[in-house]
Structure 1
Amino acid sequence: MAPLSWKSNVPLAFNAWIPYSLESKITYFFTYFHQIVCIMMAACITASVESLAMVIMLHICAQLEIIVHRLKSLPRLQEKSNSQSIIYELESKLIKDCVNHHIHTYTLGENLNETFGPVIFVQFFVSVIALGAVIYPMSKLSTSLYDLNTWRLIFTFASTISQIFLYCFYGDKMMEKSMAIAEEVYQIDWIETTIKTKKNLTSIMMRAEKPIKLTGLSIIIMTIETFFKIIKSAYSAYNVLKKT
Structure 2
Amino acid sequence: MQKVKMNGLIGDLWPHIRLMQLTGHWLLEYHENNESIMRLFRKIYCTLTTILVLVQFIFIFIFLVFYTYDSDQMAAGTITVLFFLHSITKYLYFAFRSKYFYRTFSAWNQMNSHPLFAESNARYRAIALTRMRKLLLIIGIGTIFSVFAWTGIIFLDGTTRDIPDPENANLTIVEEMPRLMMYSWYPWDAKTGMWHTISFGYQFYWLFIALSHANLLDVTFCCFVIFSCEQLKHIKEILKPLMELSAALDTAVPNSGDLFRASSTQSNRPLLNNNPAENGGDFDIRGIYSNQNDYSDFQSTARVTSISGGVGPNGLSKKQELLVRSAIKYWVERHKHVVKYVSSINDAYGAALLIHMLITTVTLTLLAYQATKIGNVDVYAATVIGYLLYTLAQVFVYCIHGNELIEESSSVMEAAYSCHWYDGSEEAKTFVQIVCQQCQKSLTISGAKFFTVSLDLFASVLGAVVTYFMVLVQLK
Instruction: Give yes or no for TM over 0.5.
Output: yes
Aligned equivalents of 1:71, 1:102: Cα separation in 2? 11
1:35 to 203, 215, 222: 203
Corresponding position: 1:198 with 2:366: no
CA 1:89–1:240: 2 relative to 1, 3 Å: same
After superposition, the CA RMSD in angstroms is: 2.7
Cα deviations by residue, 1:49-78 (Å, 9 ceiling, x for unpaired):
111111211110000010111111123214
TM-aligned CA deviation for residue 8 of structure 1: 5.3
Task: Give 2:187's aligned residue.
Answer: 19
The DSSP-based 3-state class of the residue aligned with 1:84 is coil
Letter in 1 for 2:229: C
Aligned equivalent of 1:45 = 213
What is the SS of the residue equivalent to 1:74? helix
Structure 2: gaps (5+ residues): 1-150, 159-174, 249-298, 300-310
Give unmatched runs, 5+ long, in structure 1.
Answer: none
Residue identity over aligned pairs, in percent, reads: 18
**Aligned-partner Cα distance in 2 for 1:61–1:20:** 52
Larger radius of gyration: 2
Shift of 1:43: 0.7
Q: Measured at CA, do residues 189 and 114 of structure 1 come closer, stay the same or move farther in structure 2, by a change above 3 Å?
A: same
101-110 or 151-160, larger mean C-alpha shift: 151-160
- Are 1:152 and 2:320 matched, yes or no? no
Please state how far the C-alpha of 1:177 moved relative to its aligned partner.
0.7
Residue 211 of structure 2 corresponds to residue 55 of structure 1: no
Q: Aligned-pair distance for 1:110?
A: 1.5
Give the superposition deviation at 1:138: 1.6
Residues 1:197 and 1:225: Cα distance change in structure 2 (over 3 Å): same
User: In the alignment, which residue of structure 1 is the partner of 2:84?
Assistant: none
Give me the whole-angstrom Cα distance separating, in 2, the residues matched to 1:128 and 1:23.
34
Deviation at 1:159, TM superposition (A): 1.8
Residues matched between the structures, number: 241
Change (3 A) 1:98 1:214: same
Stretch moving more, 48-57 or 60-69: 48-57
Q: CA deviation at 1:226?
A: 1.2
User: Partners in 2 of 1:126 and 1:195 — Cα distance?
Assistant: 52
Q: Partner amino acid for 2:212?
A: C
Deviates more, 1:161-170 or 1:234-243: 234-243
Q: Tell me: CA distance 1:121–1:59, structure 2 relative to 1, closer, same or farther (3 Å).
A: same
Residues 239 and 83 of structure 1: is their aligned pair in 2 closer, same or farther, counting only changes over 3 Å?
farther
Partner secondary structure for residue 181 of structure 2: coil
Q: Does residue 84 of the first structure (1) align with residue 317 of the second (2)?
A: no
- What whole-Å deviation, never above 9, does each CA across 1:213-234 have from its counterpart, x for those lacking one? 1112222211111111122222
* Cα offsets for 1:7-31 (capped at 9, x unmatched): 8522333222222334762222222
1:15–1:23: structure 2 CA closer, same or farther, 3 Å change rule? Answer: closer
Moved more, 130-139 or 20-29: 20-29
2:244/2:424 contact within 8 Å kept: no
Q: TM-score, normalised by structure 1?
A: 0.86
Q: Distance in 1 between matches of 2:379 and 2:202?
A: 27
> Matched residue of 2:372: which SS?
helix
Comparing 72-81 and 153-162, the one that deviates more: 72-81
Please give the alpha-carbon distance, in whole angstroms, between the structure 2 residues aligned to 1:95 and 1:199: 10
Higher helix share: 1
SS in structure 1 at match of 2:177: coil
* 2:342 counterpart SS class: helix
TM-score by length of 2: 0.46
Q: Deviations over 1:153-209 (max 9, x none)?
A: 223222211211111111011011112111211112123212122111100111122
User: Looking at both structures, which has the greater relative contact order when contacts are Cα pairs under 8 Å and sequence separation is at least 6?
Assistant: 1
Does 2:337 align with 1:169? no
Residues 71 and 185, structure 1, Cα contact 8 Å, conserved in 2: yes
Structure-to-structure mapping, 1:73-222, within 5 angstroms: 73-77=241-245, 78=247, 83-84=313-314, 86=316, 89-142=322-375, 144=376, 146-222=377-453
Instruction: Work out which of the residue numbers 218, 232, 236 in structure 1 matches 2:463.
Output: 232
Answer yes or no: is 1:9 the counterpart of 2:177.
yes
Q: 1:124, 1:164 within 8 Å by CA — same for their partners in 2?
A: yes
The change in CA–CA distance for 1:33 and 1:236 in structure 2 (over 3 A counts) is same
